[in-house]
Amino acid sequence: MSTTSALGGVVRRREDPALIQGKGLFVDDVNLHGMLHVAFVRSPFAHAKITSVDTAAAQAMRGVRAVYTADDVRHLGLLPAQAAAVGRPLLADGEVNHMGEAVAMIVAETRAQAQDAVDAVEADYDRLPVVIDLKEALANTNLVHEGVESNTLITWTAPFGMEEDGLNELRAKIDGYKAQDDVVVVSLEMVNQRLIPVAIEPRSVVAEWHAGYQQMTVHSSSQSIGAVASSVAIMLGIPYNQVRGIAPEVGGGFGAKLALYADELLIPWAARELDTPVKYTETRREAASNTIQGRGWLGTATITGTRDGQVLSYEIDAICDLGAYCQDLTVAIPFLGVFVGSGQYAFDTRMQLDCVVTNKQTTDAYRGAGRPEAIYYIERIMDAYSREIGMDPAEVKMKNFIPSESFPGATSPVGFAMDTGDYAMNLQAMLDSPEYGAMKLARDELRSDGKLVGLGMSTYVEACGFGPSALVDLGFSWSGYGQPSAFNGSGLVRVNPDGTANVIIGTGPSGQGHQTTWAQIVSNELGIEMDKIRVTHGDTKDAPVTIGTFGSRSAAVDGSATFEASRKVREKAARIAADLLEASEADIQFADGGAHVAGSPDKRVEWAAIAEVAYQPHRMPGGEEGGLEAHAIFSPGNATWPFGSVACLVTVDPDTGDVSIEDWVSMDDCGNVINPMIVDGQIHGGIAQGVGQALFEEAIYDDEGNLLTAGLIDYPMVTAVDVPSFNLSRTTTPTDVNPMGVKGIGEAGTIGAAQTLVNAVVDALAPLGVKHVDMPMRPRRVWQAIQDAKASA
Amino acid sequence: MQVSMTVNGQAVSGDVDPRTLLVHYLREDLRLTGTHVGCETSYCGACTVIVDGKAVKSCTMLTAQAEGAEITTIEGLAENGDLHPVQEGFWERHGLQCGFCTPGMILSAVTLLDENADPSEDEIRLGIEGNLCRCTGYHNIVKAIEYAGAKLRGEEPAPAEWEVNA
């Protein structure tokens, strides 16, 4: 059906027909004539000197075209990154710093030949002491990098911008609270464990060099194809416009396909060296050990408050695991935790996040990136405090929220300006919802049956929709990749001579449905039918700025740019239509594929008629220039701050420790919604990833630095039987930092989820005396917590 | 070695290295790239195809083992341009996001509904336990399969549950 779409309407996704018929194009589907294949020789050790790498035998093998080591690629420099205190060599250079680090690269005629040749490369190592434990890393017992005198690369503190004197005063103030009569101090050391992002599509890169045109084409399964293209251009010493970066379908990203990877440079480099197309697709094992990991905090959270639920202060001291090298935004990820600070609350807050290097794979952005960690600690300790004073957690929250009167323009206790919010309204909406009422009834029923049953609750706020140009000054931009623009949005809207429209955007999906949502934005503004709007993304030849999809930014930032570009086109079209219809420009309205005069739907011109004038400039009214297109760059005034309330009901099997989720309720507020179906889908998936962290997932390195969870058998993922259907509802508090009032929803589900489950399990086990269970709450750990509680009872 | 089989109704034959996995034969020799490789360990299910009526993870089967078999891949599911009800269900109920696990998930759902025409939610969840999806949290995949089940039984599917903005 050919219709125009209003914002807020459900439209089936335009990307689906190809994907449900197996006709989508993913990078590994790209197959070029004569294409060579790559496999990497990887370090079996977490920390060692490389004494020799002998490639002669591998080079002599059938089908092998080249074997490269650090000696061949050293001149290309380190892997570019935005905040690289310790950068990564493209191939290990004299030393390896985590298991799986690439030592040599083999290019062969088939993938099997390349993989066979891996075993023929003889590398010798002298092992060095490994740094795995975070407290040992902080103590500098051993150093990860020779010449870097401390494993702690940076310490983030909050309130943001407060100097040491101020922090000392704050410490003294909080000590004063603790010394008061009748206060309780609740403190817990908790792990927010390392995770492997696990997009189901492994990363893949295909590069082709056209020597005649000096043109490089790079296909990569990337969330930020602009960063890939500009970095390749710099490395190859050619201008940006001689590199075309293409991210076709991207099979899930979750932050892990945001960072730039060494293979995204090495594959194009080899393609030019060999003047032949080259492909590399990582194995699942490589995806586990060499694609970035997430989280990895060990922290102590402390609440000081009165016995009647008034919190006086919140403190968190945490060690954050950076892994071996800085890639992309590695050191900045914990800083995103500083952004959200103590969440939605108005009390004094002090944070100290020591960011340490270890002999493990790099950590970087994984769905939520710093914000799930920060919200986990505040929401777990708020729950523990509520339990300690015997008050309903919802009541304690209501007492301590930043009041709605502070918005718009509230400043968080850690010093950040927030856009809009009404936390009490949102929590009350969840408490009043029939779904939550049913959950409470079910809890009481199960409890009376003698089951171990718990109801857990969490609220959350996040900072997303990055972002304002000025973030460049805080180190958030892609300038490290030669992209001078900050995290601005880009949208280009062109109405063609036949009245159809092309929309070219600076961001691209990895499942978020940009083709549908962006067509809705343009259709809503211009009244052009959905099926006459074509959205192009993920191709650097088309878009001047391609920052990408991350930090729940696409709709709020690039969507806003597209909205503004549409508006510019509409204004020009209105002048043409007014001239054609002999009406006032102010009376022109757009709907159903054309323009009409307000109140006179018969006085109407189609878009093709308007475009005809635009492409015959001599007919343009007032001598205006021809053409009917506009480009907009959008820099929002602030990040956006979505928020919400979440509750779940669990039962725990006392004999096995197995946790079962019986019911789930979420009340999210992401401002205005463009497509409710897509927004709901984002929340569903986000919740499941939070459930995965809470119940199953953990990247486990042993004492020697071996990754023990490098396959999906050892890294249990959430399956369909592990989650219930979710009950989603919304409140709507539009942001004032962009024209559509949208806040972003990609990460909210995850940010609200994990602690909700832990709070529920602790609620179930509290009668036994359990105060905390660390994630992942696998059956054995829960069972052990039950046994320990029984033993000490 | 020589192999021959029927893929999506077409007789095919070829000469393959004995170690060739079925998924690689489908993707690389037949260029049916809708079947995806996600984990190479028969765990994720992205490579699921239908072999003689059963859902099979094609990364765990040698091409030689498929000698003489009747195989349906995602490309062969729609008939004469009409989507299979499971495909339609995934579209109507937003059962996919990135689309990478989708072909395998759809084919598993097809065999699930072949074996059980009116599955409960729990039976659907158990039936697709061997197919991992990282995007959807399975919520809408379950709804999509319920939609398809209703269509296949000639019933009206339950309405969608989106809360549309006023």
Q: Where are the domains of chain B?
A: 2-76, 85-152
Name the residue among B91, B125, B166 with its Cβ closest to that of A720: B125
Between A81-85, A437-441, A602-606, the lowest mean confidence (pLDDT) is in A81-85
Q: What is the mean pLDDT of chain B?
A: 96
Scan residues 133-192 of A and list those with Cβ closer than 8 Å to B. Answer: none
Q: What is the mean pLDDT of chain A?
A: 95
Whether A1 contacts chain B with CB within 8 A: no
Question: CA-to-CA distance for A602 and A605, rounded, in angstroms?
Answer: 9
CA atoms within 13 A on the CB side of B157: 20
Scan residues 108-147 of B and list those with Cβ closer than 8 Å to A. Answer: 121-122, 124-126, 128-142
Question: CA-to-CA distance for A112 and A114, rounded, in angstroms?
Answer: 5
Tokens representing A227 are: 């960063």
Whether A662 contacts chain B with CB within 8 A: no
- At A291, give phi and psi (nearest 5°): -90, 150
Distance in Å, alpha carbon of A345 to nearest chain B alpha carbon:
29
Q: What's the rounded mean pLDDT across residues A517-544?
A: 94
Residue of B nearest to A725 (CA): B139
According to the model, what pLDDT value does residue A1 have? 33
A–B interface: beta-carbon pairs under 8 A: 201
Name the residue among A284, A513, A723 with its Cβ closest to that of B137: A723
Q: What's the rounded mean pLDDT across residues A729-748?
A: 96
Q: Is the pLDDT of residue B119 over 80?
A: yes
Q: Is the pLDDT of residue A3 over 60?
A: no
The torsion angle over the Cα atoms of residues A431, A437, A440 and A444, rounded to 10 degrees, is 150
pLDDT digits (tens, 9 = 90+) for A594-642: 999 999 999 999 999 999 999 999 999 999 999 999 999 999 999 999 9
- Name all domains of chain A by residue range, CATH numbers in brackets: 16-22+489-634 (3.30.365.10), 32-127+201-251+257-290 (3.90.1170.50), 297-466+638-792 (3.30.365.10)
Q: Is CATH 3.10.20.30 the classification given to domain B2-76? A: yes
Scan residues 693-752 of A and list those with Cβ closer than 8 Å to B. Answer: 711-713, 717-721, 723, 725-726, 728-730, 732, 749
* Percent of chain A surpassing pLDDT 90: 92
Contacts 24+ apart (CB under 8 A), A123-127: A123/A41, A123/A43, A123/A50, A123/A52, A123/A53, A123/A54, A124/A50, A124/A51, A124/A52, A124/A53, A125/A43, A125/A45, A125/A48, A125/A49, A125/A50, A125/A51, A125/A96, A126/A48, A126/A49, A126/A51, A127/A45, A127/A47, A127/A48
B138–A24: do the CB atoms touch at under 8 Å? no
* Percent of chain A surpassing pLDDT 70: 99
pLDDT digits (tens, 9 = 90+) for A641-689: 999 999 999 999 999 999 999 999 999 999 999 999 999 999 999 999 9
Q: What's the rounded mean pLDDT across residues A553-566?
A: 95
Whether A471 contacts chain B with CB within 8 A: no
DSSP designation for A556: I
Q: Is the pLDDT of residue A190 over 90?
A: yes
Distance in Å, alpha carbon of B132 to nearest chain A alpha carbon:
6
According to the model, what pLDDT value does residue A5 have? 62
Distance in Å, alpha carbon of A197 to nearest chain B alpha carbon:
9
A721–B129: do the CB atoms touch at under 8 Å? yes
Q: What's the rounded mean pLDDT across residues A424-434?
A: 98
According to the model, what pLDDT value does residue A328 have? 86
Q: Is the pLDDT of residue A324 over 50?
A: yes
Whether B159 contacts chain A with CB within 8 A: no
pLDDT digits (tens, 9 = 90+) for B30-83: 999 999 999 989 999 999 999 999 999 999 999 999 999 999 999 999 999 899
Contact A301/A335 with Cβ under 8 angstroms? no
Q: Which CATH class is domain B85-152?
A: mainly alpha
Residues in B closer than 8 angstroms to A284, CB to CB, are: 38-41, 44
pLDDT digits (tens, 9 = 90+) for A442-490: 999 999 988 899 999 999 999 999 888 888 877 777 878 887 777 889 9
Give the residue from B35, B31, B53, B54 showing the smallest Cα distance to B44: B35
According to the model, what pLDDT value does residue A502 have? 98
Q: What's the rounded mean pLDDT across residues A323-352?
A: 95
SS3 A299: strand
pLDDT digits (tens, 9 = 90+) for A154-188: 999 999 999 999 999 999 999 999 999 999 999 99
Among B24, B135, B141, B147, the strongest candidate for a mutation testing the A interface, having the largest count of A CBs within 10 A, is B135
Among A11, A12, A20, A725, the strongest candidate for a mutation testing the B interface, having the largest count of B CBs within 10 A, is A20
Tokens representing A435 are: 């779904």
Give the residue from A467, A532, A545, A475 showing the smallest Cα distance to A505: A545
pLDDT digits (tens, 9 = 90+) for A708-718: 999 999 999 99
ipTM above 0.85, yes or no: yes
Residues in A closer than 8 angstroms to B28, CB to CB, are: 31
Which amino acid does the sequence have at A723? V
Residues in A closer than 8 angstroms to B121, CB to CB, are: 725
Q: A467: cis peptide before it, omega within 30°?
A: yes
SS3 A771: coil
Helices B139-152 and A676-695: angle between axes, nearest 10 degrees = 120
Q: What's the rounded mean pLDDT across residues A381-393?
A: 98
DSSP designation for A618: G
According to the model, what pLDDT value does residue A259 have? 92
CA atoms within 13 A on the CB side of B152: 24
Question: CA-to-CA distance for A770 and A785, rounded, in angstroms?
Answer: 7
Q: How many CB atoms lie within 10 A of CB B91?
A: 19
Q: Is the pLDDT of residue A577 over 70?
A: yes
Name the residue among B17, B40, B138 with its Cβ closest to that of A284: B40
Q: Is the pLDDT of residue B166 over 70?
A: no
Q: What's the rounded mean pLDDT across residues A227-235?
A: 95
pLDDT digits (tens, 9 = 90+) for A251-276: 999 999 999 999 999 999 999 999 99
Scan residues 255-294 of A and list those with Cβ closer than 8 Å to B. Answer: 281, 283-284
Whether B158 contacts chain A with CB within 8 A: no
